[in-house]
Chain A
Amino acid sequence: MSQEIESRMRAALRPVAPREDFSQKLLARVIAGQPAQPKPRRLLAASARPLAWWLTASLAASLILAVGVERHLEQQRLQQSGLEARREVVEALRMTSQKLNLAYEAVKNQSTSLADEKSGV
């Protein structure tokens, strides 16, 4: 009985010689070092390509938008500073002319009173 089992196992596990091109294929694959990509991964890469494109495009658009907004804000800041400076210049000159007028009034009044004194009024 045991002999029968043993002989069956031997028959099942008998050495089988590889096919003639096996060693050639194996060597070629080792030299190339590029194992064939499995099908599912290839499918993933193909679907990721549009996603990467959209990501790049979105990033570029965001960057352009950010630069545009920053420039607009800078322009607004400059305009505000310019208008403020303009207001200050006008205010400063208005105050100066007002005080000059005050001096003028005093000079005029003094001249009038001196003229009155001379004429004996």
Chain B
Amino acid sequence: MSEASSSAASASSALVAEYALQLGDDALILSHRLSEWCAHSPELEEDVALANLALDLLGQARTLLTYAGSLEGAGRSEDDLAFLRTEREFRNVLLVEQPNGDFAVTIARQLYFATYQSELYAALCESTDPELAALAAKAVKEVAYHRDHAVQWTLRLGDGTAESHRRMQAALEQLWPYTAELFLADAVASELVASGVAVDPRTLRPAWEASVAGVIEAATLTMPADVWQPRGGRAGKHGEGFGLLLGEMQALHRQYPGARW
């Protein structure tokens, strides 16, 4: 066994489970936010598009949560993890739980997050953990379409009418503070970077920022400036809207325990 794979094998399963939960929760919560657009989108093609994005993300979440549950070894399934954890136990970044707002806010969130996921999964293809590497190799191809969708809409809204430009700029400004957290390395990620399991999120920032800046400039928009930088999602400290989100997402499962159809 190579040095890298023996380190991966000896890296605590609990840590890898935590890492998988971070990535899985990002996908799960964003999937839920996007699904809120169903039957409410500005046009039919977008209703279909956003639902497709949500479904792709849900697939990522299911794979990651199932993996986390199996590593944890406490018998928790993907459903247990998605529907029975409480606010403080979720590990997603704050960006993905932000409310959809108007369509421009949703697109700004997609631009920031799909670009991040694209860089993240590309790097995670090299993970020494075969399950994470396998998921990354699949997800990176699908997320390329998410990124394209976000870029095209940013271009159209920014370089559109005065109204769409105003809203798109406002959306970029509103969500910019939440992007800092994407590139923070917490204790879990840091420890797993050494064994090659996890990607150091700090390494993703230069390519991400160059890409986002390029799109913003081409869209005749202005790059937002750094002001405040909220964090805490990875530690379970979510915003006040998160409880409402979980209330909706988990209601059915909690009201009818053990339901089957």
Chains A and B form a bound pair = no
